[in-house]
């Protein structure tokens, strides 16, 4: 079969895999190939056990794989055979040298650019899907245009706004698609080509176009705004706990203002995930680089509040449990950074588990999807840790439960049965405010929500 278009994606991670699976599903006349340097990941994409969990993803991959969706390790071949190349390699925070702990580590990105240059035999459109510091496209262009070849490259920015846990839904029905390009003749033509791909399933009015720098910056700013809302509500949750106000009531009243809106106003143990922290730190680094220290300080506050909230949660546990956690058995309900994903990158659970172990507590972890990631996150940490699939068995014999992920299953558990199996006094620290606190209290638990007065039997 000849396909209308041949599309390559470099990077088969949380973004590349689902994005290309949905693209292949929506565009049966396009051939979509996803390549990665990691052979284990590619083997998993070609198996029944996909490397990541997302609702509905397996069904889409099953329906398209081998027909118009292909996963491969042949990066040179992929570059040669495709003229439209999405790049969704990882851009983590730099851990060494200049900008360590703040700037984006662009080594994977640059290596990809060099690979594209080396293996291209025809002109290409190269699309940044990864989240990148503003002006990265310039560096990409400089690398791609450093030889005198007749091959030309158009570099576009098309950041991905999917949220893990709802990736398929977000990809199928995005709020918007953003495509940034150079405003040259060939840049605008390349932009049209990418717009036509999305127009297969996204209404044209949702496809917005901009200059390339606005596009790069918009992605980082979107994440910064989302994280800022979480830190704002979490900051107020601390004040609520001091004043007997209830953060759920406050957030509802505030969120009903149509200028503010109700989303992303749930107080919690803090945000996690691979993006928010890294993208804000990157923004902070950029601002400092351009001499905007007040702007940098402002955004850095979002990350600081997030750290504060996690530490505060741990200190609240300590205080409630008579100022010692030594030899106490604490069960963590949830380890992924949010519900409906197995992803644990930057999950508050990693921090909380580590701090509990420092306090010499015994930690029992349960999670419906994230136990294998939890095992590798905590490998090497000293102390007593166990991983138990069944939430009832996990809490049995424990002094306390800390709810760290808002998995729906936790709302529906039989807390009477759980209470009966626990050491008394039994406590629940609801780091996501998802449980029926009054009911848990009436069963006999001491209940410590976030940003609300605790319900205790003392």
User: Does the footprint of ligand NAD cover residue 111 (CB under 6 A)?
Assistant: yes
Nearer to ligand NAD, 80 or 360 (CB): 80
In sequence order, the 6+-apart residues with CB closer than 8 A to the CB of 148 are none
Instruction: Mark whether 275 is an active-site residue.
Output: yes
The one segment of 82-90, 203-211, 250-258, 437-445 that binds ligand NAD by CB under 6 A: 82-90
Q: How far is the CB of 39 from ligand NAD (least distance, A)?
A: 10
Q: How far is the CB of 165 from ligand NAD (least distance, A)?
A: 9
- Give CA–CA dist 147/145, Å, rounded: 6
Kindly state the tokens that stand for 18.
Answer: 């689902």
Restricting to residues 113-132, which ones interact with ligand NAD according to CB under 6 A?
Answer: 130-131
* Residue 436 region by backbone torsions, left for phi larger than 0, else alpha for psi between -120 and 50, else beta: beta
Q: How far is the CB of 444 from ligand NAD (least distance, A)?
A: 39
Query: Which residue is closest to ligand NAD by CB?
Result: 13
Q: How far is the CB of 107 from ligand NAD (least distance, A)?
A: 8
Orientation of helix 276-289 relative to helix 212-243, angle to 10°: 110
Nearest one of 431, 410, 424 to 366, comparing CA atoms: 410
Residue of 27, 240, 275, 398 with catalytic role: 275
Kindly state the number of chain residues that form the binding site for ligand NAD, as judged by CB under 6 A: 27
Nearer to ligand NAD, 132 or 440 (CB): 132
Which of 160, 195, 406, 430 lies at the binding interface for ligand NAD (CB under 6 A)?
160
Q: How far is the CB of 390 from ligand NAD (least distance, A)?
A: 29
Nearer to ligand NAD, 90 or 218 (CB): 90
Nearer to ligand NAD, 246 or 406 (CB): 406
Orientation of helix 371-378 relative to helix 348-358, angle to 10°: 50
Q: How far is the CB of 77 from ligand NAD (least distance, A)?
A: 13
User: Does the footprint of ligand NAD cover residue 274 (CB under 6 A)?
Assistant: yes
Nearer to ligand NAD, 91 or 215 (CB): 91
Taking the CA of residue 164 as centre, how many other CA atoms within 13 Å lie in the half-sphere pointing to its CB? 24
- Give CA–CA dist 453/79, Å, rounded: 58
Q: How far is the CB of 364 from ligand NAD (least distance, A)?
A: 28
Nearer to ligand NAD, 237 or 274 (CB): 274
Nearer to ligand NAD, 18 or 451 (CB): 18
- Give CA–CA dist 234/356, Å, rounded: 21
User: Does the footprint of ligand NAD cover residue 108 (CB under 6 A)?
Assistant: yes
Q: How far is the CB of 363 from ligand NAD (least distance, A)?
A: 26
- Give CA–CA dist 214/429, Å, rounded: 42
Which of 11, 270, 272, 368 lies at the binding interface for ligand NAD (CB under 6 A)?
11
φ, ψ for residue 437 (rounded to 5)? -65, -40
Restricting to residues 58-77, which ones interact with ligand NAD according to CB under 6 A?
Answer: 75
Nearer to ligand NAD, 171 or 287 (CB): 171
The one segment of 10-18, 143-151, 246-254, 257-265 that binds ligand NAD by CB under 6 A: 10-18
User: Does the footprint of ligand NAD cover residue 105 (CB under 6 A)?
Assistant: no
User: Does the footprint of ligand NAD cover residue 16 (CB under 6 A)?
Assistant: yes
User: Does the footprint of ligand NAD cover residue 88 (CB under 6 A)?
Assistant: yes
Kindly state the tokens that stand for 82.
Answer: 């495709």
User: Does the footprint of ligand NAD cover residue 362 (CB under 6 A)?
Assistant: no
**Please, are residues 339 and 404 in contact by the beta-carbon 8 Å criterion?**
no
**Please, are residues 385 and 365 in contact by the beta-carbon 8 Å criterion?**
yes
Q: How far is the CB of 343 from ligand NAD (least distance, A)?
A: 7
User: Does the footprint of ligand NAD cover residue 165 (CB under 6 A)?
Assistant: no
Nearer to ligand NAD, 88 or 347 (CB): 88
Burial class (CB in 10 A: 0-12, 13-18, 19+), 360: middle
CA distances from 190 to 89, 118, 126, 180, 205 (A): 21, 21, 9, 10, 18
Which of 8, 9, 10, 238 lies at the binding interface for ligand NAD (CB under 6 A)?
10
User: Does the footprint of ligand NAD cover residue 90 (CB under 6 A)?
Assistant: yes
Q: CA torsion sign, 290 to 293 to 299 to 303?
A: positive
| Interface residues toward ligand NAD, by CB under 6 A | 10-16, 35-38, 41, 75, 88-91, 108, 111-112, 130-131, 160, 162, 164, 274-275
Active-site residues: which are they? Answer: 275
């Amino acid at each position: 079969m000849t396909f209308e278009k041949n599309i390559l994606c470099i990077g088969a991670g949380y973004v590349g895999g689902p994005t290309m699976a949905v693209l292949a599903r929506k565009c049966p006349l396009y051939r979509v190939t996803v390549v990665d340097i990691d052979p284990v990941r590619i083997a998993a994409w070609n198996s029944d056990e996909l490397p990541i969990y997302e609702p509905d993803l397996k069904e889409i991959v099953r329906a398209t794989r081998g027909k118009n969706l292909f996963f491969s390790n042949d990066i040179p071949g992929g570059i040669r055979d495709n003229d439209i190349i999405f790049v969704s390699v990882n851009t983590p925070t730099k851990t060494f040298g200049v900008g360590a702990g703040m700037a984006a580590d662009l080594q994977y990105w640059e290596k990809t650019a060099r690979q594209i240059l080396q293996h291209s035999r025809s002109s290409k459109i190269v699309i940044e899907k990864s989240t990148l510091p503003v002006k990265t496209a310039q560096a990409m262009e400089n690398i791609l245009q450093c030889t005198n070849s007749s091959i030309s490259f158009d570099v576009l920015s098309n950041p991905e706004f999917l949220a893990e846990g709802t990736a398929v839904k977000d990809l199928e029905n995005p709020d918007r698609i953003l495509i940034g390009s150079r405003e040259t003749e060939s840049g605008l033509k390349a932009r049209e080509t990418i717009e036509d791909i999305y127009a297969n399933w996204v209404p044209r009015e949702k496809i917005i176009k901009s200059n390339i720098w606005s596009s790069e910056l918009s992605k980082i700013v979107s994440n910064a705004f989302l994280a800022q809302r979480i830190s704002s509500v979490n900051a107020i949750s601390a004040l609520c706990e001091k004043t007997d106000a209830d953060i759920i009531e406050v957030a509802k009243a505030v969120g009903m203002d149509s200028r503010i809106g109700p989303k992303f106003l749930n107080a919690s143990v803090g945000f996690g995930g691979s993006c928010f922290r890294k993208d804000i730190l990157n923004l902070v680094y950029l601002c400092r680089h351009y001499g905007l220290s007040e702007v940098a300080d402002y955004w850095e506050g979002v990350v600081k509040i997030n750290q504060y909230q996690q530490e505060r949660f741990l200190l609240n546990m300590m205080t409630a449990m008579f100022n010692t956690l030594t030899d106490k058995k604490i069960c963590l309900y949830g380890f992924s950074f949010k519900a409906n994903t197995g992803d644990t990158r930057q999950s508050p659970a990693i921090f909380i588990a580590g701090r509990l172990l420092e306090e010499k507590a015994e930690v029992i972890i349960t999670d419906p999807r994230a136990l294998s990631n939890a095992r590798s996150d905590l490998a090497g940490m000293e102390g007593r840790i166990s991983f138990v699939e069944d939430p009832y068995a996990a809490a049995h014999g424990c002094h306390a439960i800390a709810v760290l992920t808002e998995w729906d299953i936790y709302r529906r558990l039989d807390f009477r049965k759980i209470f009966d199996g626990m050491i008394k006094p039994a406590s629940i620290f609801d780091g996501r405010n998802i449980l029926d606190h009054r009911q848990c209290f009436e069963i006999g638990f001491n209940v410590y929500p976030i940003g609300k007065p605790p319900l205790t039997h003392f």
